[in-house]
Amino acid sequence: MLSEMTATQLREWMIYAEQEPFGYEFFNFMLGKICSVLAELQRDPKKRTQGYKPSQFMHRPLTPEEKAKGVIGDIFTLKD
């Protein structure tokens, strides 16, 4: 596709992607949003006063330290 795209078209797509994310970043955020809503439905406000945020459920790649320890695959973490 890049061989058929001009530099101007590529620049326009890059600007568009910044304004309206699509692909992996969009999918990652939407899954985080869905998970945060589901967690909110089950949250006990007496035990956990703060609500959940989508970023707490979003995928993150392994750090170099985790790779060195031999952790397999990427990690999904719940950050408090």
Nearby residues of 76 by Cβ (< 8 Å), 6 or more positions away? 57, 59, 60
- Bigger pLDDT: 39 vs 75: 39
How many CB atoms are closer than 10 A to CB 57? 22
Q: What is the pLDDT of residue 2?
A: 58
Binned at pLDDT 50, 70 and 90, residue 38 comes out as: very high
**Amino acid type, 10:** L
Q: Whole-angstrom Cα distance, residue 8 to residue 80?
A: 43
Q: Which domain holds residue 35?
A: 2-76
The number of distinct structural domains making up the chain is 1
**By the 8 A CB rule, do 40 and 53 touch?**
no
For the segment 45-59, what is each residue's pLDDT rounded down to a tens digit? 999 999 999 988 887
What's the alpha-carbon Rg for the chain, to the nearest Å?
18
